[in-house]
Amino acid sequence: MNNIRVRFAPSPTGYLHIGGLRTALYNYLFAQKNGGKFVLRIEDTDQTRFVEGAIENLIHSLEWAGVKYDEGVFFEDGKVVEKGDFGPYVQSKRLHIYKEYVDKLLEDGHAYYCFCSRERLESIREEQKMKGLVPKYDGFCRNVSLEDAKARVEAGEEHVVRLKLPYNRDIHFHDIVRGDIVINTNDIDDQVLLKSDGYPTYHMAVVVDDHLMGITHIVRGEEWLPSTPKHIYLYEAFGWEKPVYVHLPTVLNKERKKLSKRHGDVSVDDFRNKGYLPEGLVNYLALVGWSPEDNQELLSMEEMINKFSFERVSKTGGIFDKDKLDWVNGHYIRSSSTEKIKDMAIPYLIDRGFVDEKFSDENIDWMLMLVETVKESLSTVSEIGDKVEFIFQEEIRIDEETYNEFLSDENAQILMKAIINELSNVNELDMEYAKTFMKAIQKETGIKGKNLFMPVRVALTGSAHGPELVNVLFLLGKEKIIKRANNILK
């Protein structure tokens, strides 16, 4: 496939949604696999919903996720800039372009001025609903002559411009995911193309922009499927070649409902703040609605690019399973360098009050060992606070059942005395000494195996299971170990 051009064109109405990231990702994978170009365009024609900072968040989120685009809107030197040969890439800067094409539709009879008041439109809708009909515009202004309409516009009468669909005509199109689709124009509304404020609607702007920017494949969410016939008719009205359509299944929660803020995390920032790695989130997200031919689940970006095709995208909504995401993310945490996870972990440890910037800078080896000790058990980096809490606590809590099983007999008393005695002879508990410590306790007490290790572990950590004991000894240090042993002797 030559000269493929795709685009991701979100509205700046808030933080980037996880479903939006998946759409951007599929566009990126397809463009990369086929040597095409990927464009980031901002669709901000609905100025009432514009959120300050949303464009910057969008750019940063895509950058963090490793979803790179070739042209469009970028963030450089503290400001939003545009790069590419097809700009402007922000719709609110293109109003003069849309006006030109709306005028062409009006002159050619494919659109008309509509002067109906909001009250009349609401009245029609209510009446249609009462009759069990699908609410849509009744075409009241379709037959106003262009000459009369222009005179009314000139006189200052409030108006919009609507698409003039032909009656009772089947519009055919092929969607790579959905197959062949036919929709009759009698089932479609005469869509508003230009609003009374002079801004185009999505339906007008998207067609003009996609054509002028040379977009060959429209890859977007399935919620736009019912609007596609209107867009195809606009391509025909202008005499333009229509693009290839790909409508992606919705990202659903476990209850098979659309992911929404009411049910938990939905923005890319939410997952980033929870300590998900971009590789983990992107790998998992790719599989929500798509699978490679060999059903491989752990894929690098390069592998996803090589294996990706729209033919393998599901027709049904993809279920976003957080447990599966955690499993994938855990894999990437374990595969990452301890240094990288340490840098990610420090803000969470500072937030819990366990360390501060000064401590983490001055005790790098200790911090690396702390992360290394629990790294295998992490699903997200934010979990580290709970995993290492026992290291920082002044006093650990041991539940009654565990205490009775491991610490209530004379064996435990002998071990605690031996620990205190052994440590009284050393100045510092470094890693080399930690490796020999339990052997020294065994030699002094004659206690071996499970009877040796389990009571010591419970006394020092509060749990019968956990990370490598040698690491725990090093991390706790001499003073804390003595204090915890003394607590058992009380």
As a whole number of angstroms, the distance between CA 372 and CA 366 comes to 10
Q: What is the DSSP string of 186-207?
A: GGS---EEE-TTSPBPHHHHHH
- Residue 20's nearest CA partner among 74, 60, 73, 58 is 58
Residues 209, 292, single domain; the answer is no
- To the query of whether residue 129 is one of the catalytic residues in this protein, the response is no
The rounded distance, in Å, linking the Cα atoms of 125 and 315 is 32
Look at residue 327 and tell me if it is in a domain.
no
Take residue 258 and report the two structure tokens written for it. Answer: 């659309």
Q: Do residues 356 and 463 both lie within one domain?
A: no
44 and 12 in contact (C-beta within 8 Å)? yes
Report the length, in residues, of the chain: 490
Q: What is the pLDDT of residue 290?
A: 97
- Indicate if 66 and 109 belong to the same structural domain: no
Residue labelled with tokens 């042209």: 71
Structure tokens at 452: 């040796």
Of 329, 364, 390, at which residue does a domain stop? 390
3 state DSSP class of 410: helix
Q: Are the C-beta atoms of 259 and 266 separated by less than 8 Å? A: yes
Domain that holds residue 473: 400-489
CB 415 within 8 A of CB 453: no
| Residue type present at position 378 | L
Beta strands in 238-294 (DSSP E): 244-248, 251-252
Domain contains 470? yes
**DSSP state letter for 258:** B
**C-alpha to C-alpha distance for 151 and 165, rounded to whole angstroms:** 23
Q: Are strands 79-83 and 71-76 parallel, antiparallel or unpaired?
A: antiparallel
Catalytic residue among 68, 129, 150, 261: 261
Tens digits of residue pLDDT in 439-473: 999 999 999 999 999 999 999 999 999 999 999 99
Inside any domain, residue 88 = no
Q: What is the pLDDT of residue 259?
A: 78
Rounded Cα–Cα distance for residues 167 and 464 (Å): 75
Residues 218, 258: one domain? Answer: no
User: In this structure, are 230 and 208 located in the same domain?
Assistant: yes
Beta-carbon contacts of 472 under 8 Å, excluding residues fewer than 6 positions away, are: 373, 391, 457, 460, 461, 466
Considering the domain architecture, whether residues 14 and 119 belong to the same structural domain is answered as: no
Number of neighbours of residue 419 by Cβ within 10 angstroms: 27
Confirm whether 141 is domain-assigned: yes
Helix (H, G, I), strand (E, B), or coil: what is residue 148?
A: helix
Residue 459's H or E segment, with its range, is helix 449-461
With DSSP H G I counted as helix, E B as strand and the rest as coil, what are the percentages for the chain, rounded to 5?
55, 15, 35
Helix ranges, 253-396 (H)? 268-273, 278-286, 301-307, 322-335, 338-351, 357-362, 364-374, 384-392
Residues 204 and 297 in one domain: no
236 and 108 part of one domain: yes
Q: Are residues 193 and 48 in the same domain?
A: no
Q: What CATH number does residue 448 fall under? A: 1.10.10.350
- Cα atoms in the Cβ-side hemisphere of radius 13 Å centred on 401: 2
Please say which residue of 230, 248, 266 terminates a domain: 248
Q: Are residues 309 and 206 in the same domain?
A: no
Q: Report yes or no on 180 lying in a domain.
A: yes
Question: What pLDDT was estimated at residue 425?
Answer: 86
Asked if 301 contacts 307 with a C-beta cutoff of 8 angstroms, the reply is no
Q: In this structure, how many other beta carbons lie within 10 angstroms of the beta carbon of residue 122?
A: 11
CATH of the domain at 373: 1.10.8
Of 229, 248, 267, which closes a domain? 248
How many CB atoms are located within 10 Å of the residue 202 CB? 18
Report residue 162 as tokens: 């609507």
CATH code for the domain of 120: 3.40.50.620
CB 371 within 8 A of CB 384: yes
Does 395 map to a domain? no
Predicted pLDDT at 490: 79
Cβ atoms within 10 Å of 300's Cβ, excluding its own: 12
70 and 188 in a single domain? The answer is no
In a domain, 77, yes or no: yes
Cα gap 370→376, rounded to integer Å: 12
Q: Could you give the C-alpha distances from 386 to 228, 360, 394, in angstroms and in order? A: 49, 18, 15
How far apart, in whole angstroms, are the C-alpha atoms of residue 7 and residue 27?
Answer: 7
Residue 480, domain member (yes or no) = yes
Domain count, the chain: 4
Q: 257 with 239, same domain?
A: no
Phi-psi region of 172 (alpha: psi -120 to 50; beta: other; left: phi over 0): beta
pLDDT per position as a tens digit, 47-92: 888 889 999 999 999 999 999 999 999 999 999 999 999 999 999 9
Provide the Cα torsion 299, 316, 241, 86; round to 10°: -50
What pLDDT does residue 261 have?
63
Task: Please give the Cα distance from 32 to 266 (Å, whole number).
Answer: 26
Enumerate residue ranges in the chain where pLDDT < 50.
Answer: none
List 74's β-bridge partners, or say none. 81
For the CA atoms of 335, 264, 220, 177, the dihedral, rounded to the nearest 10 degrees, stands at 80
